[in-house]
Each structure stands twice: as C-alpha cells, then as structure tokens.
Chains A and B, each alone.
Chain A
Amino acid sequence: MYAFKYHKAASVADAAAALSRGGDVKLLAGGQSLIAALKLRLSAPSDLIDLGGIKELAGIKLEGSGITIGAMTRYAEVARSVEVQAKIPALASLAGGIGDRMVRNMGTIGGSLAHDDPVADYPAAVLGLNATVHTNQRTIAADDFFKGMFETALQAGEIIVSVSFPLPRRAAYIKFKNPASRYAIVGVMAAETGGGVRVAVTGAASGVFRVAAMERALAANWSPDAVAGIIVPADNLNADLHASAEYRAHLITVMARRAVQAAS
C-alpha cells in the first residue's frame, strides 16, 4: 500500500478535528474492508485516523424501547450479546454470519455502515429494522442513510457514534452466501416493526433497498405465501459471474419467503 500518516484518535472530538485538517483523510475502524483496499491500492489516503482506542465508541446498551450499539462494537460482540440475542435475535444472527470469525473479531458496525458495501449485511439490518444512525453531528433515519453504491448521507467530517435499533415484534435475516467470500449474493431482512412491516434486500443491487410490494402483502398477511408470487424486476439488479440479475430476482423472493418463515 502507499504510505500515509497515521493518527490514533483519543476521542471523537479528536478524530473530527483531524478530519477537518484537510488532506485525503480516512477513518480506520476495524479495517476489514479498508486495509484490504489499501493493500490493493484501491484507496490511497494521505492520513488514516484510527478510532480503535476510543473506548466510549464500543458497547451495547439495552434501553426500554431499543438497543443502542456503539459504532466501534465488533460483529462478534453483537453476535454473542445476551441482550441482542434476547431482544433482536435476527440482528445477533446477522452479525454472526458476517465473514468469518477473524473478520467478526475486528469488523465494526460503524465501519460497515460508513462503507456501505452493496453486498454487506448490516445495511439490511439497519434498513429492515428501521434503525437510527447517530453521528457526532446529527441523527439520520435508516430510510435517509443509504444513498447508493458505497455512498451514504454522511458528510465530510461526520463520524458515526452509535446505531439505535428499536425492538421489532418479529424479524429474521436470511442470506444466500457467495460460497467463497460469504458475502451476500442476496440477503433479506423481513421485520414486523412497531412502525409496520419492512423488507430490506442487500447484495442484489447497487445498494440496500426495500420491497414495497412485499411489505404491503405481509402487512395484510404475514406468511411466506404472501410474498411467494412477488418478483422484483431484474432490470436494476447486479449481474456478475456469481449470479445473473434474473437469478438474483428469483433469490430475493426465495430468501424473503425463508425470512418470513424464520421470523414466524
């Protein structure tokens, strides 16, 4: 990788100050996507700010109506959290299915969301469970956060501090994994939240998206049969050597049925 200047941030304020000093600055969370990108020279920042030493950014808190997860909380911590397993088992199971155990020991929810990889799992959790992203500047609703391929609503200098998940009535996430990388070829989070039914799909398109037709069908009748006949058009879906757009469209329906079944 190309050389860069490394700074270990002592606090969020310290990191925000470093971000504002100019140059091509990137935040380092778990590094599971960033270090790999640096090694391939797909990214060449002038400065890297390591958030790994900011203890307040990690942690899982159960508060009345929801669970708040600190941005630097590792996937493994979410997967084995007693609170998450009890209150949002779909989220614990999703976190436990990301990558492999070594990736799960380092990768963070904040890093995953800021990166917004089209085949990542956490975006489906945030969009499907209607979570709220808290940054050092404001709060961003799930429906406003994801903008496109590797693009989010985060402004320059903005740092994700935590993510709050309201408790769903029921939810499940089913992923059709790429057999080699274990990323989602298609992953579907189906949830009955306090605010209604949400179906979020990752892996299939340039970013995570909701399927309104499936949400309406499930609101009327929560059963796998309700979504069995609903096919997302293949036009804007990803096509690559792993799966054609038509196959992904097919998989969305299959995974949605399985997610609804699992959540029932």
Chain B
Amino acid sequence: MKLSMTVNGKPVSAEVEARTLLVTFIRDSLRLTGTHVGCDTGQCGACTVHLDGRAVKSCNLLALQADGAHLRTIEGLAHPDGRLHPMQEAFREYHGLQCGFCTPGMLMSAVDLVQNHPDPSEETIRAELDGNLCRCTGYHNIVKAVKAAAAKM
C-alpha cells in the first residue's frame, strides 16, 4: 500500500505491507535507527516518536496510521546545524543516560511532556515519564535533566 508522510521535515513515500509497524518503517525503510525497539509490547517507550506533535509509541502503530502525518524522530530533535536541543543538552549536562538505549524514547517523551507542562514539578515529571523505562540510571538524573531543560525551553 502507498504511504507518504513528512519525516523530520522531509517528504517521504514508500510502498508498505499493511501490517508494517511504524517503528519497522522508520528503522528498516528509512534507516533512521535512533528509534529503538525495546520490549516490542508497547511498554518500555524506547520507540517513542512524535506524530503530528504528539508522543506515540511507534511499535504499537501501523505505519499506515501515520499516512499524511508529520513524523519527528530523535534524528530530527537537534538543530540542523548540529546544536543540541535543550533537552539533549540537559541530558548531557546532568548525566541522564548510561547505555543510551532508552534515551531516544526518553528524550522524545520528555520534550512532549514539557510542551504540555511548561514548568513541571519533579512529581509531574516522574508521573508523566512513566511510559519510558530505564534499566541503567535509576531515573534521578533523568528527572533533573528534564527539570533543567524545561527551564530553558
């Protein structure tokens, strides 16, 4: 089936099987491998991307559900000139990652969080990030990073 969308600002078209997941399309067809498959059961959030400005789990969507939409992946977060997004910069400064596997999804989710809660409390951050699992950090530095980034965004 025909599929077309805008990905990180660029138009994209492809032929896909109806059952192709959005994450498979992003990783295998578009070769944007920053979006990760963690659990494949829609729980860990490592596959989080922005669909028309809303954070969604790409492993739990058909690619065709994104037909005609604007998709933003982790590769589209930084400025085109290479400057990091404030959220990325905060994760770097506050050591909000170790192995980095959950990080793309965590960043995309955190950006969506701050867009909806411009001045989030620590409690709000912890509650609203409950769809992103991290096995390395224990979350404390992630929370600090999101709080710091929110102040700059």
Q: List 21 A-B contacts (CB under 8 A).
A: A3-B17, A3-B19, A6-B62, A6-B64, A8-B64, A8-B67, A28-B65, A31-B60, A39-B21, A50-B65, A80-B116, A99-B131, A101-B55, A101-B112, A101-B113, A102-B45, A102-B57, A102-B109, A106-B60, A106-B61, A180-B43
- Closest residue of chain B to A74, judged by CB? B54
List residues of chain A with CB within 8 A of the CB of B130. 100, 182
Q: By the criterion of a CB under 8 Å from any partner CB, how many residues of chain B are at the interface?
A: 30
- Closest residue of chain A to B1, judged by CB? A6
The CB with the most chain B CB atoms within 10 A, among A8, A52, A100, A102, is that of A102
Known: A100-B131, A102-B55. A181 touches B43 (CB 8 A): yes
Find out whether the CB atom of B65 lies under 8 angstroms from the CB atom of A102.
no
Shortest Cβ gap from A144 to chain B (Å)? 31
Find out whether the CB atom of B60 lies under 8 angstroms from the CB atom of A76.
no
| Chain A interface, >50% SS class | mixed
List residues of chain A with CB within 8 A of the CB of B18. 3-6, 48
List residues of chain A with CB within 8 A of the CB of B45. 100, 102
- Closest residue of chain B to A35, judged by CB? B60
List residues of chain B with CB within 8 A of the CB of A35. 21, 42, 60-62
Say whether A54 faces chain B, with CB atoms less than 8 Å apart.
Answer: no
List residues of chain A with CB within 8 A of the CB of B54. 76, 105-106
Say whether A103 faces chain B, with CB atoms less than 8 Å apart.
Answer: yes
List residues of chain B with CB within 8 A of the CB of A52. 65
Say whether B128 faces chain A, with CB atoms less than 8 Å apart.
Answer: yes
Say whether B40 faces chain A, with CB atoms less than 8 Å apart.
Answer: yes
List residues of chain B with CB within 8 A of the CB of A101. 55, 109, 112-113, 116, 128, 131
List residues of chain B with CB within 8 A of the CB of A226. none
Contact with A along B26-53 (1 / 0, CB 8 A): 0000000000000011110100100100
Additional 4 contacts, C-beta under 8 A, given A2-B19, A101-B55:
A4-B18, A31-B60, A31-B62, A39-B40
List residues of chain A with CB within 8 A of the CB of B57. 102-103, 106
CA distance A258 to B67 in the complex (A): 44
Interface residues of B (CB under 8 A from A): 1, 17-19, 21, 40-43, 45, 48, 51, 54-57, 60-62, 64-65, 67, 109, 112-113, 116, 128, 130-132
Say whether A36 faces chain B, with CB atoms less than 8 Å apart.
Answer: yes
Shortest Cβ gap from B35 to chain A (Å)? 13
The CB with the most chain B CB atoms within 10 A, among A2, A3, A5, A105, is that of A105
Interface residues of A (CB under 8 A from B): 1-6, 8, 28, 31-32, 35-36, 38-40, 48, 50, 52, 76, 80, 99-103, 105-106, 180-182
CA distance A84 to B137 in the complex (A): 37
CA distance A122 to B62 in the complex (A): 24
User: Which 7 residue pairs of A and B lie closest in terms of their CB atoms, listed nearest first?
Assistant: A100-B131, A6-B18, A105-B54, A102-B57, A35-B60, A102-B131, A1-B19
Contact among A1, A48, A50, A105 for B56, CB-based, below 8 A: A105
CA distance A181 to B48 in the complex (A): 17
Known: A35-B61, A181-B43. A105 touches B55 (CB 8 A): yes
- Closest residue of chain B to A76, judged by CB? B54
Known: A3-B18, A105-B56, A106-B56. A32 touches B116 (CB 8 A): no
CA distance A72 to B19 in the complex (A): 21
List residues of chain B with CB within 8 A of the CB of A76. 54
CA distance A77 to B41 in the complex (A): 24
CA distance A5 to B64 in the complex (A): 12
- Closest residue of chain B to A6, judged by CB? B18
The CB with the most chain A CB atoms within 10 A, among B17, B40, B42, is that of B42
List residues of chain A with CB within 8 A of the CB of B56. 102, 105-106
List residues of chain A with CB within 8 A of the CB of B128. 101
List residues of chain A with CB within 8 A of the CB of B1. 6
